[in-house]
Amino acid sequence: MTTQELQDLLGSMSLEEKVNQMNQLAGGFFAGDVVAMGPLQEMGVPEESVRLTGSVLGALGAETVKKIQKNFLENQPHRIPLLFMLDVINGFKTIFPIPLGQGATFEPELSRRCAQAAAKEAAVSGLHVTFAPMVDLVRDARWGRVMESTGEDPYLNCLFSRAMVEGFQGDDIKEPYRVAACVKHFAGYGAPTAGRDYNTVELSEHTLREFYLPSYRAGVDAGAAMVMTSFNTIDGVPATANRWLMRDVLRGEMGFDGVLISDWAAIEETIYHGLCADRREAARRAAEAGVDIDMMTGIYSEHLCALVREGVVPEALIDEAALRILTLKNKLGLFENPYKDADEEKEKEVILCAAHRELAREAAAKSFVLLKNEGVLPLAKGKKTAFIGPYADNPRMLGSWSFIGSPEDVVTVRQAVSEWDESAVFCEGSPLLGPDVKLEGFMERPAETDGAPAKEKERSAEEMLAEAVAAAAEAETVVLMIGEHYLQSGEATSNANIQIPQIQMELFEKVCEVNEQVVVVLFTGRPLDIRRISEKAKAVLVVWMPGTEGGHAIVDVLSGAVSPTGKLPMSFPYCVGQVPVHYNEYSTGRPHVPGKDKDRFRSKYLDIPNGPLYPFGFGMGYTRFSVSPVETDRTRMTAGECIHVSVRVKNVGDLPGTETVQLYIRDIAASVVRPVRELKQFQKVALAPGEEREVVFTVTNEDLCFLTADGRWESEPGEFEVSAGTDSTTVNSARFVLAE
Ligand code: BGC
């Protein structure tokens, strides 16, 4: 449709029709044949709202979606199709590593390909919009949703935000196999106080703008069709009713002209926040803030028509929102083809196809981060290796946002090892969760999710442990596959103790008593306190929640077929008392000087180090690299010039490998306090043993810009320190001056 045709359509719609475009209902309201009246009436949703509603969350499958759309269109006065939406986060049916794992690849291009594959599977299943990417910056490992983020660094998050949006959407969402992306959660959702989900967010505007907003902006700049509000307050006002945030910042400053959707029930929650007295006020405030779609509360349908008729809300606000929604439908080509890519035959062909599995395997292997290796990895084939632990043969490693992915499609570690080394032995060792872990309110805590095969459940934890210890004692090397339950990270999974379940730590201790060659393969959705493991194990490999091809990818890396290349996108804290801990902290007036612990009046802890156990950007390979001192081709530049910063990187080990060389910059003095360092660029170099290569970074004025005291994003003349190395603690630095 042309813009004029869309305007004409809008002009011909009744107020009820326009308002209901702004309403989203769950798939359960629509049965294949008719509108499902049972749940409707129970929930007090009038039939008209269902007949006129604009979008659906959670109905999928080509056949179902086509049926719902067809029936719906027969009753929709203007034949305006429904939009079908769902959270397709790290994959649809082929599951890729969780976003935090994808962040560890330091390879946004790979995430673009994963998003593209996920979009294809989702599109043939009838979906039009995915609620992804989540681009919230995260610093606090107590918050379970860190698993959905790509980490603590704004620069890295921007790259991933852009890549994922482009991967889902391509150049044109009308094209086959594309879905509209929804950047979320605007804004600052990743900073809940004390890491407790849905809690208040307290950020200065400076910190919000400098660290948290850039990744949303990157997604908007990449053309994201949709943005989702966040549950939290910003400066005391819930984001979902925050006019300043939505109208001035998102629409005004960032130029977002797509559809803004509330998070689940977030409009209603403005009442519980204590901002709005009732549903009517909530409807008014959210509409005034510019929220186009109400996810799941029916508040807009209930109140907006009356509010308009009473002259409280101008109809122009409704027109604006409805037009944006119609425009999105038009951009997806739904007026011409309301079924878009929904296709039962294509579902069979595309979903879990060999190419997607191959990509999942590649992405998973690249997401793994080797934190320690005292010569035990890679494993030697045929050398009496025991794979022990609740993840040794457990398909539930997809992450908690992969509810379409099925464990039946997952390649477990045991299956993959058996293809590689028939002599390996396996035992479960312990249940995933002991009585210390509370998962109250989770529908699935029962045994079916603890990973234990049915027959194992009849055995006591003592028997499992005894069997594991016996196997460990006989083995040359033990690979201990332990970690969080997949439901322990995700939405509403805040944890004050960020540790591996106690029952698995007991297994670890007992195994270490009988075998010194212990490799820990750690499954987790978040950074954990792994001091004990790091101290005792000979090697530690973080595999996050690796996805459908997790087993193959783990064996690829353990066997040495693939060398680990992942780098931490989020610091692993020394202990929970240190969080939020992140590498790019602001300078203080009393910085701690390493080695001068007796200098008492410094910003430091008495009982633990300041630095995390493993810092941002850290990750080893199977070989070693040396990095030469930083060189710059000049020591002064003006804003229009650039400086070339170079290091020579050499593979000084015996195996080929890839290193990610990272460039950090510190502004020595500025109109506002600057972070001690900030990642500005990185490059991956693949080197054969003995090979050396020069890595050159071009530093331009753009790398020196920040939010100044005047509120402008620009650089200020003065001195800068530039560092290059293999993680965020590198002290390999040089200085240069930005001249006026
Ligand atoms: C989450 C969103 C998600 C939405 C729909 C909410 O609870 O916060 O991230 O997109 O549900 O599933």
Q: Distance, CA 263 to ligand 1 centroid (Å)?
A: 6
Burial class (CB in 10 A: 0-12, 13-18, 19+), 475: buried
pLDDT value at residue 48:
85
The answer to whether 689 and 653 have CB atoms below 8 angstroms apart is yes
* 684-703 per-position pLDDT tens digit: 999 999 999 999 999 999 99
Ligand 1 atom showing the smallest separation from residue 185 Cα: 9
| Closest CA relative to residue 369, chosen from 542, 522, 528, 533 | 542
Task: State the Cα–Cα distance between residues 501 and 485, nearest whole angstrom.
Answer: 8
Active site residue 263: yes
pLDDT value at residue 589:
96
* 491-513 per-position pLDDT tens digit: 999 999 999 999 999 999 999 99
φ, ψ of residue 521 to 5 degrees: the values are -105, 115
Per the residue annotation, which of 136, 140, 263, 343 is the catalytic one? 263
Percent of the chain with pLDDT over 70: 96
pLDDT value at residue 133:
98
| Closest CA relative to residue 163, chosen from 110, 121, 123, 85 | 110
- 186 within ligand 1 shell (Cβ under 6 A): no
Q: Distance, CA 566 to ligand 1 centroid (Å)?
A: 28
pLDDT value at residue 46:
82
SS3 656: coil
Residue 31's pLDDT band (boundaries 50, 70, 90)? low
- 263 within ligand 1 shell (Cβ under 6 A): yes
Task: Tell whether the model's pLDDT for residue 448 goes beyond 60.
Answer: no
- 456 within ligand 1 shell (Cβ under 6 A): no
SS3 167: helix
Answer with the residue of higher pLDDT: 390 or 40.
390
For residue 660, the surrounding DSSP H or E stretch is strand 657-667
Domains of the chain, with CATH numbers? 364-576 (3.40.50.1700), 623-738 (2.60.40.10)
Q: How far apart are the first and last CA of the chain?
A: 52
- 87 within ligand 1 shell (Cβ under 6 A): yes
Q: Distance, CA 264 to ligand 1 centroid (Å)?
A: 6
Sign of the torsion angle spanned by Cα atoms 453, 455, 460, 464? negative
- 625 within ligand 1 shell (Cβ under 6 A): no
Task: State the Cα–Cα distance between residues 242 and 138, nearest whole angstrom.
Answer: 22
For the chain, give the mean pLDDT: 95
Ligand 1 atom showing the smallest separation from residue 131 Cα: 10
Task: Tell whether the model's pLDDT for residue 29 goes beyond 90.
Answer: no
Q: Distance, CA 18 to ligand 1 centroid (Å)?
A: 24
Task: State the Cα–Cα distance between residues 377 and 375, nearest whole angstrom.
Answer: 6
Q: Distance, CA 91 to ligand 1 centroid (Å)?
A: 16
Task: Tell whether the model's pLDDT for residue 456 goes beyond 80.
Answer: no
Percent of the chain with pLDDT over 90: 91
- 18 within ligand 1 shell (Cβ under 6 A): no
| Closest CA relative to residue 362, chosen from 539, 590, 113 | 113
* 301-331 per-position pLDDT tens digit: 999 999 999 999 999 999 999 999 999 999 9
Task: State the Cα–Cα distance between residues 580 and 413, nearest whole angstrom.
Answer: 33
Kindly report the pTM of this predicted structure.
Answer: 0.97
User: From atom 2 of ligand 1, which residue's Cα is the shortest distance away?
Assistant: 263
pLDDT value at residue 447:
45
- 184 within ligand 1 shell (Cβ under 6 A): yes
Crossing angle for the helix pair 213-221 and 154-169, to the nearest 10 degrees: 30
Task: Tell whether the model's pLDDT for residue 353 goes beyond 60.
Answer: yes
Give the residue-averaged pLDDT of 18-24.
97
pLDDT value at residue 442:
83
| Closest CA relative to residue 692, chosen from 657, 732, 725, 651 | 651
